[in-house]
Structure formats: C-alpha cells, structure tokens
Structure 1
Amino acid sequence: MRLNIPLTGEPEVEAVREVIESGYLTQGAKTAAFESTVRAYTGARHAAAVSSATTGLHLALVALGVQPGDEVVIPGFSFPATANAVIQQGAIPVFVDIDESSFNLDPALLESAITERTTAIMPVHAFGLCADMDAINGVAARHGLPVLEDAACALGGTYDGRHAGTLGTAGVYSFHPRKIITTAEGGMITTNDDALAERIGVLRAHGAVRGELFMEFVDAGFNYRLSDVHSAIGLAQMARIDDIVAGRRRAASELTSRISGVDGLRVPSEPAGTAHTFQSYVVMLDDGIDRDQVIRHMRTRDVETTLGTYGMHLQPYFRERFAIADEDLPRTTRAHHQALTLPLYPQLTGDDMDVIADALRWSLQESARR
C-alpha cells in the first residue's frame, strides 16, 4: 500500500491533450486561468504560478528584499527546501523549535530568535495544519517584518475561516504529487500586496517587461515560470479540490478512530478554528520505540510509511554549516526521530484502513520486543 496516490483521471489526460494539440506549451492562457482559479478559491488578490514551491519561496524572498547576509526565521522541522530557499538567496536560516502537538513553529520562541539582521519570518504549515498565525503575525508586526507562509502542504486548509497562504504577506503552495493537488511539478505564490505581486511577475520571467513589440529587461530575473501543460493539469485538479480535501479529512478521521487507542503513539491534533488538510497523516511515537524499525516492519506487511519530515539541523549540510546542537532544538530533534507518516489519501477504503491499523499495531508490538 503506497503512502500517497494522487487523485487523477481522464480530466487531467484530456486537459494535457488539449494543450499539446494547441501547439502552445509554455506559460500562457492555461496558466493565467489556473492562477485565476486559485485566486478565486483562496480569496487572494494575486497568484503567480511558478515551477515549484522551492522556486516560489526563493522568488518571494527576493521580491521581499531579502539580501545576502540577512536572517530569515524558520521552524527547525520541515523539508529542507524551506531552508534551501533562504540559503539560495545568500541569507541565513535561523531555526526555531516547534510546538510538538502541531509540529509547527512555536510562537513563544519567535521573539528571542529575531535580531537586527532579521528581514523575514517564514512559518511552515506542517503537513497541512496552519501555524498559529495570529501569534506569529503579532510578533512580526512589532518588529516590522514580512511573513512568508510556506503553505506547500496547506492548499485548502484554513485558520479562523481564512485560507492558508493568505494569512501573511505572501504564501507559497506546492503542487508536487504528494501535495493536495498536483501539476506533476509546480507551485504558486499568493499575496494581497499589489507592488509585491508586480515585482514577482517581473522576476519570474527573466526580469522582463513586455512592450508593444518586444520585451525590455529591467532586472536580473529568473526563469521560474510554469508551463501550460502543468497548468492544465492544475485546472483539472482544482475542479475537484473540494472532494480531495473532504476525502483526506474523512480518511484521517476514519484512521484516527482505528488507532487512537493504540499504545505507544499520539494521533494528529486539529486545534479549534483550524481545518487540517492532512496532506500527511503523521503520528508521534513514544520515546523508546524505534521508529525506523517500525517502518521496516510495516514494509513487511506491504504498507509504505516514512518519517514525518526532517529536523534540518540533523542533516549533514546544515549540521556542518551551522553546528546546531540537538539540545538547542529538543522538540525538533525528537520529532525527527519519533514522527511517523502513515498512508492517507481519499481512495483508501475501510478495508485499507483496517490493514494500516493492524499493521501498525503489530509493528509496534514487534519493535517493543527488541
């Protein structure tokens, strides 16, 4: 049983065929329509499709004016692309520990991470659960800092009725196949800031402004565009996003009902006022349980599992460059070793849920015997 299977079908196939037969494959009308659809869905004033969430984060940091040597505050627990985008701009990621119940940046630790070199705060909505944005925005406002949401996993998630990706200065979604909707590869930047949106549009396409007959290059920009082939898939996916999000939430509820009483783990939480997308269904195993051994045992039952995500300070590049001790980020360190992602997607049946729950229960028992 796979960890995730995108919900795709004939509409996506037909959408791609239409673009290929048109002979216009690069960024064009389909991308514009995809951006418009995401704007309408999220309520964002502007949306710019990009080649990936990673390029979107980098592009947004550039447009926000982050310079080499600046500091950007991020959670310690995330896929390394969060930190990589900061480093690609020559800036320095400052890792903050997480709130273990949500896996999100702990706002209580945010103030102490800000220095005179801080130029942005970049919270991550871990696994599709919005971070505590009121608290984060409050700290940012006191220091006059922009907030860039890494909303890679959170399209369709909400916080006090507002969409993830529209809660800060700008937000970035991912459309990788493991995310809520997919374009195979791709991402989207959203913002309500007119000037920021204009700068993102220029930087996304080589720093060019199109005139009557040809382009004029006003900045040293990037080629971070999304093709119409990818955008056509995205449009087909957006037509079913309500069903996808509802299906993931239903599957999460059913899985929770089967494993909430299993010894040795804590099921995901959903604070009041938030709507979790459950891009990943991540449980926390008790100390003393060998998470990696559980993954191996689950594999023998043909159930794919993996770690939650990465304590970035534990990865070789970040460890060698920043020399952050485990005790500096204790909850991130624990989550890196004890968080476990289980299969979850709308296509799972009740029988599939039973298989996952039974395999997990058996794997925990086997791991406890060693």
Structure 2
Amino acid sequence: MMKKRALDLTIIFLSLPITLPIMAVTSLLLLVIQGRPIFFRQQRIGKDLRPFNLIKFRTMHTGKGDDMQRVTPIGRILRKLSIDELPEILNILKGEMSIVGPRPLPVEYRPFFSSQEQQRHKVLPGLTGLAQVCGRNQFSWRDKFQKDIEYLENRSLWLDVKLIFKTFFAIFNFSNVNADKGKTMERLSDRLYLIGAGGHAKVVYEAAIESGKEIAGFYDDNTNLHNTHLYGHKVRPLSEIPKGALVILAIGSAEVRKKLSTRYSRFGVVRHPKSWISRSAKVGPGTVIFAGAKIQAKTKLGEHCIVNTNSSIDHDCVIENFVHAAPGTTLCGNVHIGAESLIGVGSSIVPGVKVAKNSVIGAGSTVVNDLNSEGCLWIGTPSKKKKEYSMKSEALNIPMAMPDITSEEEQAVLEVVQSKRLALGPKIKEFEELFAKYTNRKHAIAVSSGTAGLHLALMALGVGAGDEVLVPSYTFVASVNCILYVGAVPVFVDINKDDYCIDVSDAESKISEKTKAIVSVDVFGHPAPLDKLENLCNEHNLFLVDDSCEALGAKLHNRKVGNYGDVASFAFYPNKQITTGEGGMIVTDNDEVARKCRMLMNQGRDTMSQWLEHAVLGYNYRMSEVQAALGVVQMKRLDEILAKRERAAAWYNEAFKDSPWLKTQTIKSGVEMSWFVFVVTLNEGLNRDEVIKKLQERNIVARAYFTPIHTQPYLKDYPTKGEDQLPNTLNIGERTMALPFFGDMTKEQCEYVASELNQVLASIAITPKIAA
C-alpha cells in the first residue's frame, strides 16, 4: 500500500511541469468560454464504500436534460483528450484516489452492486484502470466490473506501471480509451433485474439482450434455484434486489406477477427488435413484447402484459394489466381484454368483443361474442364457457404480520458486521439523532425494547413503591408490567368505545393523593387524547408517560405522537411500523430524565464514569449496533412504510364499509392514524373464538386483540385498583379481533380476508345487529 502511494506521488510530482500549465490554460479557457463554475464536483464511492467529492473540469451545460446534448464543444475536446480528469490529481493527493484502480462511480449507484461487484471497492478508485485501457464505454457494466475484479486479484506495482503507460499511449494515439469518451453509458441503476428463473425467464432474457438491454441478473424465491446459473448469471434470492431497481417480472403466471408487482417501484419494458409497435400505441411498464408481435394504432397495453411471439393486436384495442397473449393470437380492432386474462395459443377474437377479467381462452378458440363472466374458461369455435375456476390461491397463507425489509437494510446490517463494531457504536448515535429530530424531542435513548423504555421512564421520573399509576387495562401487558417493575400500584382506567383509547373522565375520577403518573396508550396507532391528558396532569401535578409503542408516525392536531407528556416510549418489534428485530426508543425533553435513562440502561454507569464504575443498580437494556443499523434505514424509509400500511388499511376499510356484522376502529377528529394492526369489533352476540376458529379453517390467521390485562391470571399476586369499574373495557375486550396486516399486503389479499370474514360472520349470525 505504501509503495503504491509512493508511486502515485512520484508520478504526480514528476508530471507537474506538464499538468499544471495544462490545468491553468484549461481553467482560463473554460472561464472565458463557459463561465463559472469551472469545476464539476460530485460525490463518488471510494474505498470501503466511503463517499468522497470527486473534482473534474466541467464539460457540460448546467441543468437537466440528455447528457450528450449538454456536452459543450470545448467539453468534447477535453473529454477526447481526457484533460477533464486532471483535477482528480487533487483527490489523489488527498488519499481519496490512486492513479490506477477501478473508476469511482456516483454514490447513488451504491445499492446496485452485487456482492461480487462490491469487491471493486476494496481498493482506492483510480484515475485510470484495466477497464479503461481495454475499452472504456465499449464495455457493458458487467464486463467493466469483471475487469475491475481482474485488476483486484492481480494488482501489483508492475501492473500499475504497465496500465499507466498504456493509458498515455492510448491518449496520444486516440485509441478506444478515448474514442467513446463522449458516449454516455446506460445508468447502472437501469440494468434490468429479471424476477424468475424458469422457462419464461429465458425467453424474456433473450428478448432483452436482443433489444440492447443489460441484465443485472436473475432473482427467484425458489431456494432450489439459488446459486444455480442461467446465461452466466447466478440465480439469487429476491431479497438481494436493491430498492429502486429496474425490474421485469419474467414469470408467465399473471397471479404471481400481480402479487410481486406490489413489492417494487420501477419496471422496465422489453421490446424485441423484430416486433412492430405503432407510434400511437401505448405500452405500460413491465410489459414484454416478443419477436414478430404487432401492435397497431391507438392500442393501449396495460402494465405487466405479455405479448408473445407472432401475436397480432389490431387498432384501438384495450388490454388491461397482467394479460398474457400466447403465441399466434389475433385480436381484431376495438377488442377489450380484462385484467389477468390468458389468451391461448392461436386463438382469435373478432372486432369489438369485450372479455371479462380473469378469463382463460383455450388454444385455437374463436371468440365472437362478449365474455361477461369473470374467472371462466372458454373453448371452441365459437367459444363457449367450459367451467368456472377460483383465483384465490395468491391470497392463501397470508401471515399475521411481516416486516418491511429491503436490500438497503440488509446492506446496512452487513456493513456493521463487517466493521466488527457491534455495540455502542456510531449507528446507535445516528439512530437516536434521527429519532429525536423526527419526534421533535431534545433526547432520544435507544434501548432493547419498548417495555424497557417504559420501565426506565418510570424509574427516571421517581415512580416507586407506594405510588399509584393510572393505566388502561385494554393494552399490551408491558404498559402494566412497567408499573409493577417499580413497585407501584396500577389503577385501571376504562376506555372509549369508539377509538379504544383511555377515557379521560374516568381517569380524572380515579386520581387520588397517591397518584403520581398516568401511562397513556396509543392503541393500535390511534393517539390517546394526549392534549387533554397533558392538561389533566398539569392540573394535578402528575407525570404523563405515553406508551407510543404502537404509534410511530401518528399525529394529534398536527403534533406527532412522542412529543406529548414528560416521556414517551416506542417499540420496534417486527410487527411494528419500523423494526430493529427487538428494540425501543425513549424520547424526552428533560435533561435529567435522559441522563438517568442512559445510566440505568447501561448497567448503572454514569455518563462520565469509567467502564467498570457503576453509580447505581442498573440494567442491560442496551440496543446493539446491528439493530441500530436496521433502525437508521427504516427511519429513512418511514414515510414510504407508513404510506403502504395506510394503503392496506384503506383497502380493508373499503371492504368492510357495508358489513352489518362488525365495525372498524373510529378515527377521531384531528387524528392522523399510524396503522399498527387492523382490528375489527364484532357485533354483540357473535362468538369471537368461533369466528377465529372458522377463519383458521379457511387458512386465515386472526387473533383476539386485546384481552384486558386486569383479567390476566398473574395479577392476582399483585395489588391493583379500579378493575371493578371497566364496562367498556370488558365489552370491547370480548369483541375485538386483529386481522392479517402489513404494508406489502395486496388489495386482493385484503379483499379476500374481508370476504372470507363476512362469509363466516353471515354463517353464524342470526340477525345482523350493528356493533355498538
């Protein structure tokens, strides 16, 4: 390493008599011809994936647009002679680059390297490299990276010297190192990621290659295919597809394509060069058009369609999403095909016909009339309905919850593991800072769980033996346990029947001389009446601790949950809005409370003490660096995650809006819900346990949510109060039930669960009675 650095510095200083005059003259010319700025600066990926600011001469007009059209006349000359790269000498002097090494790429490309391609970042990036002297932009990204890995595996001072001489020879002879310098490569993020590794993926791959697309690889959730090879690409799991990747669903099944389409945000289009598409036709993202296919004027192709070999679609047709036209199909003018339909090999449809969604038209069939029944098989000439079939398979086996984890989180965890700094490191600080900023709090303290956060909050506030703490019984057990941990007495408070949150009036009636705090709960992501509770606590000189474990992102009167009260605690279990596996966060504006929480969660160490000095009896409630790395990425994705959960909740609410058998949670005025789970309240008289059992028979998991804590067996050994005055808690606690819920649920899954539940309820109910 030191020898390579010495070589870099020696060559730079020896070349200064030449490079400095060239840089000075170039700077003057650019200033006169183009004006300021003279230099172009951009963050690039350096050694060990660390970003740095690369500096070059500016060769483009500022602003947006096609890169080649923005290149200035003098910029073309500078690029041709590679003079635009000379300011990178400054990066070399700073130790951010070397003369020879893989070229540094923009930081936004970071998620799009495969694990093998990441190896190029084990060395300093270079001004020139093996890929540059062998062809520069004539190579595909894959070929470039293979050259980079080849250099990495064979690097030596002698190889560096040879590459430097080859670079100078190529420059002065205008060889291919410069010939295509003006040519801009396709962005690394625009490589196609093919999902699927079966037979259909093979024909999609070949069509994509023929159309000039570069393929990042094949990805499949079939573990038997992982690490096998297809066209020289290793088949990898879907989890390795980076966020923002350009995807093609190379799978024949419309059902599977539809399910997978909700996971990704960018989809490419593959059009074989031997197909013909009218300029007035429109093609939706994710669609694949094979050789010999013809798409005529004004036709509209939806998303994720397949138009197979030698198919013909005439003018003004409308093809909805996820339709598959098999080889040799013929659609005459003005045909309308419903979503997810399959048009069999060699079948024909006469002009003006409408085909209902989920239809299957058998091979060789001729359709002469509208097909109005959904989910049917049609065969023959003229086609006739053969049978109806179910499309429910994609909705089966829906999990109760699922964390929203992408390759970005996986990469963040891997980086921490590779750093070997697994505890008390920079990721925890970064996570805490992000969280404090988000909740608009002065302090955020990362802990091992939301339960730990509640426990420490009460301890830091001085709540202890002899004190009473008001808390709802309709909650998760941690809200009550934290009171018992400090030796205080839980005083149970009733809830509202509509939003399931704490009843402020009942709370006020149960305040006594011994009351020291209120633990409020933001149930299922709905904020408790925190403004009223704050006023109540101020009036009676009580502490307010908000159990916000289920409500990250929720707002009450435009003020985020976590920003109310003296202290709030959040949780990051895998079913929560964001996850760190296990973990929690305490937020507060009180400096002394924050200091005590940090001391108590770290084995009683004072912030200023030595590692083996313990000021008080404490706990190991620390969060790990791996957990914090997950949390950092999840916080940065929080808006996206919350939006997906909001979407799933909206689908459920729409599906249940006319149900006579149940009601959904009321969202109060001024509330912005952050959906933790989706809970319904069954009508009185319906047996919740029986409903759950019947749903299980239909492969749908559901759970009783919540069972009131004051009814739990273990509490008989602890002093409590208020449990005999909880009519709403008992009523609601017998009738609420949580359904499968997570951000990546599809509309079809939500509608399927709702439909099955309504069928179950109708089968066991005698008379519909609106839930109270």
Once residues 202 and 98 of structure 1 are traced to their aligned partners in structure 2, the CA distance between those partners, rounded to angstroms, is 35
1:208 match: 605
**Which residue type is aligned with residue 330 of structure 1?**
P
Alignment of 1:68-147 (within 5 A): 68-147=465-544
2:659 match: 262
Q: What stretches of structure 1 of length at least 5 have no aligned partner?
A: none
Q: Deviations over 1:282-305 (max 9, x none)?
A: 111111000111111111221111
Once residues 80 and 309 of structure 1 are traced to their aligned partners in structure 2, the CA distance between those partners, rounded to angstroms, is 9
How far apart are 1:178 and its partner, in Å?
1.0
1:2 corresponds to 2:413? no
How far apart are 1:268 and its partner, in Å?
1.6
Once residues 425 and 560 of structure 2 are traced to their aligned partners in structure 1, the CA distance between those partners, rounded to angstroms, is 26
Q: Deviations over 1:129-169 (max 9, x none)?
A: 00011111111111101100000001111111111111111
Out of 695, 715, 736, the residue aligned to residue 318 of structure 1 is 715
SS at match of 1:282: strand
Out of 269, 290, 293, the residue aligned to residue 690 of structure 2 is 293
**How many residues are aligned here?**
370
Q: Deviations over 1:155-206 (max 9, x none)?
A: 1111111111111111000000111100000000001112211221112212
How far apart are 1:369 and its partner, in Å?
6.0
SS at match of 1:173: strand
- The answer to whether the 8 A contact 2:467-2:515 is kept is yes
1:60 match: 457
1:171 corresponds to 2:568? yes
**Which residue type is aligned with residue 461 of structure 2?**
L
- The answer to whether the 8 A contact 1:326-1:333 is kept is no
- The answer to whether the 8 A contact 1:147-1:169 is kept is yes
Task: Describe the shift of the 1:323–1:34 C-alpha distance in structure 2 as closer, same or farther (beyond 3 A).
Answer: closer
Once residues 720 and 480 of structure 2 are traced to their aligned partners in structure 1, the CA distance between those partners, rounded to angstroms, is 15
Once residues 50 and 245 of structure 1 are traced to their aligned partners in structure 2, the CA distance between those partners, rounded to angstroms, is 23
1:235 match: 632
- The answer to whether the 8 A contact 1:311-1:335 is kept is no
Out of 642, 647, 659, the residue aligned to residue 250 of structure 1 is 647
- The answer to whether the 8 A contact 1:308-1:335 is kept is no
Once residues 247 and 52 of structure 1 are traced to their aligned partners in structure 2, the CA distance between those partners, rounded to angstroms, is 24
SS at match of 1:209: coil
**Which residue type is aligned with residue 359 of structure 1?**
E
**Which residue type is aligned with residue 20 of structure 1?**
V
Q: Deviations over 1:289-326 (max 9, x none)?
A: 00111111111221111112120111111256458797
RMSD across aligned C-alpha pairs, in angstroms?
A: 1.7
- The answer to whether the 8 A contact 2:651-2:751 is kept is no
SS at match of 2:741: coil
Bigger shift: 326-335 or 92-101?
A: 326-335
- The answer to whether the 8 A contact 2:470-2:518 is kept is yes
How far apart are 1:122 and its partner, in Å?
0.4
Q: Deviations over 1:34-86 (max 9, x none)?
A: 10111121111110000001111001100000011211110110011111111
Task: Describe the shift of the 1:364–1:167 C-alpha distance in structure 2 as closer, same or farther (beyond 3 A).
Answer: same
SS at match of 1:328: coil
2:441 match: 44
**Which residue type is aligned with residue 288 of structure 1?**
G
How far apart are 1:217 and its partner, in Å?
2.4
SS at match of 2:691: helix
Task: Describe the shift of the 1:319–1:310 C-alpha distance in structure 2 as closer, same or farther (beyond 3 A).
Answer: farther
1:278 corresponds to 2:670? no
Out of 397, 413, 418, the residue aligned to residue 21 of structure 1 is 418
How far apart are 1:368 and its partner, in Å?
2.0
How far apart are 1:117 and its partner, in Å?
1.1
How far apart are 1:340 and its partner, in Å?
1.0
- The answer to whether the 8 A contact 1:313-1:324 is kept is no
- The answer to whether the 8 A contact 1:80-1:310 is kept is no
Once residues 8 and 319 of structure 1 are traced to their aligned partners in structure 2, the CA distance between those partners, rounded to angstroms, is 41
Once residues 227 and 32 of structure 1 are traced to their aligned partners in structure 2, the CA distance between those partners, rounded to angstroms, is 11
**Which residue type is aligned with residue 128 of structure 1?**
G
Task: Describe the shift of the 1:162–1:292 C-alpha distance in structure 2 as closer, same or farther (beyond 3 A).
Answer: same
**Which residue type is aligned with residue 71 of structure 1?**
E
- The answer to whether the 8 A contact 2:599-2:618 is kept is yes
**Which residue type is aligned with residue 311 of structure 1?**
P
Q: Percent identity?
A: 35
Bigger shift: 315-324 or 98-107?
A: 315-324
Q: Which has the higher helix share?
A: 1
Once residues 297 and 191 of structure 1 are traced to their aligned partners in structure 2, the CA distance between those partners, rounded to angstroms, is 45
TM-score by length of 1: 0.96
- The answer to whether the 8 A contact 1:210-1:216 is kept is no
Larger relative contact order (C-alpha < 8 A, sep ≥ 6)? 1
